[in-house]
Structure 1
Amino acid sequence: MKLSARNMLSGTVLSVTKGTTTAHVTVDVGGQTVTSAITNEAVEDLGLAAGQAVKVVIKSSDVMIGVD
């Protein structure tokens, strides 16, 4: 797979929780979790399921950090 995004992390799907139209996919990336909100249709098209090896691709124009 070739993409223009340079931030790709290898991980394993921990869970897929489907809602009405959107699913939350939680991925273990080296002991940290990343959660992505994608369409239910995308989950089906990709055949996502717990235990599956995936790539987390991060492409963002803004990354914010906050402190208390």
Structure 2
Amino acid sequence: MSLLLGFFTATIISTIPSQTGDWGILAGAIIVTCNESISKLIYNSHHNRINILNIINCVKIGIIYGLFVDAFKLGS
């Protein structure tokens, strides 16, 4: 369920900033910064079995997957 939520979030993230066209670089920087800080939080914690962190990680993976799928749609 979390992967699906992340996939839909990626669709929202990729369509809203692209309406103006000048927010692409800033939006990309924000997405990378958020993903890297979530990864640092998850993989540096000593309690890897916390359910909230696992859910957040699954949403993050869904966002990354959704952005890759959108990139392939734009490239074809």
- Structure with more relative contact order (C-alpha pairs < 8 Å, separation 6 or more): 2
* Between structures 1 and 2, the one with greater strand share: 1
Output the TM-score relative to the length of structure 2. Answer: 0.22
Larger Rg: 2
More helix by share: 2
Given the two structures, how large is their TM-score scaled by the length of structure 1?
0.24
